[in-house]
Chains A and B, each alone.
Chain A
């Protein structure tokens, strides 16, 4: 499927299976994500949510099925990892900033080293991105000097600096204090409003309900139920979904 066009799903999963040794954590998941959509994946711990989005940018491999990003097969022998990762940005639960670089240098590193862009141009873009995530004035601070919420916003800016088409968020607020959760969620909401395609794994139900176009509920490696938030939160049919929602809402 090399002749991909923008009206086709930007991310397309078909019957994906993934095991760690004997343990099968993903047991046949299919999903279509259209350009500009915001997708939230929710579900109990250990249901394979994080593994699933890690498979989308090839941090994990899969045993069976197919994952395509803009028509490019992610788990084939012909995968061009650099091309994939230019399209797909990722933000992690633990921020994973480079601790020996300032906020600005963190954002600038990949465009300069990977895309070989001119440092002056990258710097202008990086400063604009840090401003966009509301971190003006923190450019020269090291990650160790920033709060969790600030670090996570640097991580978002760092990922955006590669100008990706899709952003993956892996429980990005799970390690944060309740007060700083909001500042990160606002940043993600801004992004979604600008039309960025986002796939989030989250435990923030209120947030999911507010920003998601579509919600997927996973349990034990399969998608139990999915739908637009208005329907999903009020008319869940499956007893597992209802049990989960009863616990978290």
Chain B
């Protein structure tokens, strides 16, 4: 079955030189696509988790009684929200990357402690995290003060009130906006291409640089891959939203 499909595309490439689906019949190119896709998935997952953690912790810090802490969060949010993610990536990798220590595995090579993949995860998490803070903050502010007072009057500490009452309600209020931001995050991961992170776009470009006849099919493939990834994420978030729905609450 697979062999027949591969034969078909090998023949197609021979007859129509613009439609070389090389990664279907050439195992080396197929491997490039798969490792690229896997890297995109990994980048997305790490950034999703870290950016949500940044969002929750940041939204909590914004409520802090310490003016200093609130100030820091504010500066962070403004900085990352108001600069382009591509430039953040370059800045992290080329500017900050200069100052991080490196180690030498064999006495000759100097390997930085944080790789380009590491920097991509850091930069993109901070980027999406800044938006998540604002999203969660809006959710936190939508929880009525009276609900918190009820928790307080039952003897709960600020942290207990936050984790048991404010956060669960915030999450439900924020979920639609959070979904939108996480979808954007997945689509932004391909900017890590600029610092040579071997994700899907990087691998695709490598393929069509080596085989110009494969350019159109590879672009098509990329589109489909992103559609699939973002579709999965949206479906998952939708599922989560439905699962968290409270009978009789909200709409």
Known A-B contacts A94-B146, A109-B164; A145 and B247 likewise in contact (beta carbons under 8 Å): yes
Selected interface stretch from B46-54, B82-90, B109-117, B165-173: B165-173
Selected interface stretch from B22-30, B154-162, B191-199, B218-226: B154-162
Selected interface stretch from A78-86, A222-230, A231-239: A78-86
How large, as a class, is the contact surface on chain A?
20 to 34
Interface centre among B144, B146, B153 (most CB of A within 10 A): B153
B155 touches A86 (CB 8 A): yes
Q: A residues 48-71 with Cβ under 8 Å of B?
A: 57, 59
Q: A residues 156-189 with Cβ under 8 Å of B?
A: 158-159, 162
Residues in B neighbouring A82, C-beta threshold 8 A = 155, 157
What total of chain B residues lie within 8 Å of the partner, measured CB to CB? 23
Q: B residues 119-150 with Cβ under 8 Å of A?
A: 144, 146-147, 149-150
**From residue B45, how far is it (CB to closest CB) to chain A in Å?**
27
Cβ of A110 under 8 Å from chain B: yes
Q: Nearest A residue to B154 by beta-carbon distance?
A: A110
Cβ of B99 under 8 Å from chain A: no
**From residue B196, how far is it (CB to closest CB) to chain A in Å?**
45
Contact of A110 among B155, B172, B247, B248 (CB under 8 A): B155
Q: Nearest B residue to A98 by beta-carbon distance?
A: B165
A145 touches B155 (CB 8 A): no
Known A-B contacts A92-B149, A99-B169; A144 and B155 likewise in contact (beta carbons under 8 Å): no
Cβ of A142 under 8 Å from chain B: yes
**From residue A79, how far is it (CB to closest CB) to chain B in Å?**
13
A158 touches B248 (CB 8 A): no
Cβ of B249 under 8 Å from chain A: yes
Contact with A along B48-84 (1 / 0, CB 8 A): 0000000000000000000000000000000000000
**From residue A146, how far is it (CB to closest CB) to chain B in Å?**
8
B155 touches A85 (CB 8 A): yes
Contact of A92 among B146, B164, B165, B248 (CB under 8 A): B146
B249 touches A99 (CB 8 A): yes
Docked pose: A110 CA to B151 CA in angstroms: 8
Docked pose: A183 CA to B248 CA in angstroms: 22
Known A-B contacts A96-B147, A98-B165; A57 and B248 likewise in contact (beta carbons under 8 Å): no
Residues in A neighbouring B246, C-beta threshold 8 A = 99-100, 142, 144
Contact with B along A86-97 (1 / 0, CB 8 A): 101110101011
B248 touches A59 (CB 8 A): no
Contact of B150 among A86, A88, A97, A100 (CB under 8 A): A97
Contact with A along B165-189 (1 / 0, CB 8 A): 1001100100000000000000000
B172 touches A98 (CB 8 A): no
Contact of B248 among A94, A96, A143 (CB under 8 A): A143
Residues in A neighbouring B11, C-beta threshold 8 A = none
Residues in B neighbouring A92, C-beta threshold 8 A = 146, 149-150
Docked pose: A179 CA to B249 CA in angstroms: 23
Q: B residues 200-251 with Cβ under 8 Å of A?
A: 246-250
Docked pose: A97 CA to B248 CA in angstroms: 13
A57 touches B151 (CB 8 A): no
Q: Nearest B residue to A110 by beta-carbon distance?
A: B154
Contact of B146 among A96, A100, A114 (CB under 8 A): A96
Contact of B249 among A94, A96, A110, A142 (CB under 8 A): A142
Cβ of A118 under 8 Å from chain B: no
B149 touches A59 (CB 8 A): yes
Residues in B neighbouring A115, C-beta threshold 8 A = 155
Cβ of B152 under 8 Å from chain A: yes
For this complex, 5 residue pairs linking A to B, each with C-beta atoms less than 8 Å apart, are A82-B155, A85-B154, A96-B149, A99-B249, A145-B248
Show the binding face of B for A, using Cβ within 8 Å. 144, 146-147, 149-157, 160, 164-165, 168-169, 172, 246-250
Minimum-distance CB pairs A-B, first 6: A144-B248, A96-B150, A110-B154, A85-B155, A145-B248, A90-B153
